[in-house]
Amino acid sequence: MTIVVKTLSEQAYEIIRERILTHEILPSKPLRQDALSQDLGVSKIPLREALTRLEQDGLLSSHPNRGFMVRPLTIAEAEDVFHLRGLLEPEAAATACLHATAEERKNVSRIFKQFDGLLVSQGAQAVTINREFHLAMIRPIKRAVSLSIIEKLHFLSERYVRMHLEPPQRGQTAYNEHLHIYEAWMAADATSVKALLFEHNANTLADLRQQIPT
């Protein structure tokens, strides 16, 4: 096992991110950086670095004289993000499954195995594994711009994925959808990967339309 040493900024980033995903920090309320710095036991510099990174991820927004605040969840943003994912991700993953190396397939399999119990428990960690799994399936295309765009969309998706998993039994349904996508990807069945991923994104958006107030 490799020991990973994380900076104070990285640790603060992970803690604040989890608090946002679990709604411990609510949208549209300014973050009190002095209180947050004291609570996390870090100085303002690493805290600022963490908040800036979360802003880049699309979880926070910054405003003059008001500082950082959690961005609100809106159906307009969900529609935009999942529409773009539906356009870009299925094609990328379908192409990638045909060109993946043995090591890349091993990595996708390793990440998928971490899903066991996570989606059903619906914890914040499930959102991270979900993102890692989806991105691992497209990395073999070796297209830096496409990867960067899809990765950004996944960071923007995270709170919506967390909301999507909240209703009872939704986690099991999500696991089954990911299982079918995983099996098709590992079998290099590009046609099925493309269709299943498109349907997966469409299903998620359809559920979110019922969950997010208009």
Q: What is the CATH number of domain 75-211?
A: 1.20.120.530
Query: Could you tell me which residues are beta bridge partners of residue 30?
Result: 69
69, containing H or E segment: strand 67-70
Q: Are 60 and 71 in contact (CB under 8 A)?
A: yes
Please choose, from the candidates 137, 151, 163, the residue with its C-alpha nearest in 3D space to the C-alpha of residue 57.
151
Predicted local confidence at residue 120, as pLDDT: 59
175, containing H or E segment: helix 170-186
Which pTM was predicted? 0.83
- Say what the alpha-carbon torsion angle 72, 75, 77, 80 is, to the nearest 10 degrees: 170
| Whole-number CA gyration radius for the chain | 18
Q: Where are the domains positioned within the chain?
A: 8-70, 75-211
8-70, what's its fold?
A: Arc Repressor Mutant, subunit A (1.10.10)
Predicted local confidence at residue 165, as pLDDT: 86
- Rounded distance, CA 90 to CA 74, Å? 24
Pull the structure tokens for residue 22. Answer: 């679990």
Predicted local confidence at residue 1, as pLDDT: 45
Predicted local confidence at residue 169, as pLDDT: 80
Question: What value, to the nearest 5°, has the Cα angle with vertex 85 and ends 197 and 25?
Answer: 110
Give pLDDT < 70 ranges for the chain. Answer: 1-5, 117-124
Q: Residues near 11 by Cβ (< 8 Å), separated by ≥ 6?
A: 40, 42
CA dihedral for 174, 175, 178, 184, sign (positive or negative): negative
